[in-house]
Amino acid sequence: MERLHDREDLDPWLRHLILAQGHYDLAWNARNSEQNPNWVSEAREARFQHHLQMARRHAIGAWHVRPQLPEAPAELIQITMSIGGKSGENPRFWFDQTVKADFIYQEASFRLTANGCSLPATKICHSRLRCSVQRLANSIPV
């Protein structure tokens, strides 16, 4: 991953998104312990927090480069669920940004319901929106 930080030949959106996903995975790898899954050392917690901060930084970077794409705000749903928002934003804010970018992006609903967190009103709303879009798409003559 270190080599990606300095790659100027890569599309900035793609570089930020890959780094965000990589840091998110590294955060959870640092937090999870095979020896004792119910205890996290201070060092592991520090690595967890560091990688989540880096994941957020890169996901927001990707979102700033291409806010019309849904992948970065979808990543930010789970990042924000893990460490909270930096400027008061919550997972619902990032869900709304994801849906704004792509009305039927299924990852948005999945991210909100991952890890035992469920926001039923959001799922119902998103399902209704998807159904409306499908009905509209089916009513347009080809």
118 burial via Cβ count (<10 Å: 0-12, 13-18, 19+)? exposed
Report pTM.
Answer: 0.73
Contact assessment for residue 111 and residue 126, using Cβ atoms and an 8 Å cutoff: no
In this prediction, residue 132 has a pLDDT band, given cuts at 50, 70 and 90, of very low
The least confident of 38-47, 81-90, 104-113 is 104-113
Residue 80 has pLDDT above 70, yes or no: yes
Q: How many other CB atoms are found less than 10 A from the CB of residue 6?
A: 8
Name the average pLDDT for the chain: 78
Measured N-to-C along each axis, helices 91-101 and 120-139 cross at an angle, to the nearest 10 degrees, of 10
Q: So what's the pLDDT on residue 120?
A: 46
- Residues 127-135 have a mean pLDDT of 50
